[in-house]
Amino acid sequence: MRAFDRRVIAEPALTRLASMHPRATGEHPPFRVFACPPSRGSVALSGELDMTSSDLLPEALDRAGAEPVDGALVFDLTGLRFSDHRSVLALVDHAQRRGHPAVLRGPPRTARQLVRLMGVDVRVEP
């Protein structure tokens, strides 16, 4: 789906749809979740993850249907500009609820620092 008629689709539904499209434009939602090649990870995220996205992120991750790569849920975060602590914990929780360890691949500096400060059980890759 390439275009949305804002007169027909309510804003909450439009935001949910846009969060699942890698090339959606506009400021809402502030992040995107989309499929990526297994060589890059289970699912890719871009944009910014902060408290404004905390309600939408778990739902978007569920809808993405990420599959494990080598036994882990690998989140390709190379397109992410920022992540707060809630979002880091949401990614780890998403993987753990599915019985897999989480791997954060290419996270922004803030996310790497948060993992270290919080002592979160997650593998971080460059």
Q: What is the pLDDT of residue 1?
A: 44
* pLDDT at residue 23, rounded to an integer: 56
pLDDT, tens digit, 9 for 90 and up, residues 58-80: 999 998 989 999 999 999 999 99
Supply 12's token pair: 């909450």
**For the chain, domain boundaries:** 11-125
- What pTM was estimated for this model as a whole? 0.80
Sign of CA dihedral 111, 117, 122, 125: positive
Question: Is the CB of residue 73 less than 8 Å from the CB of residue 106?
Answer: no
Topology of the domain comprising 11-125: Transcription Regulator spoIIAA (3.30.750)
Q: How confident is the model at residue 9 (pLDDT cuts 50, 70, 90)?
A: low
The tens digit of pLDDT for each residue in 45-54 reads: 999 999 988 8
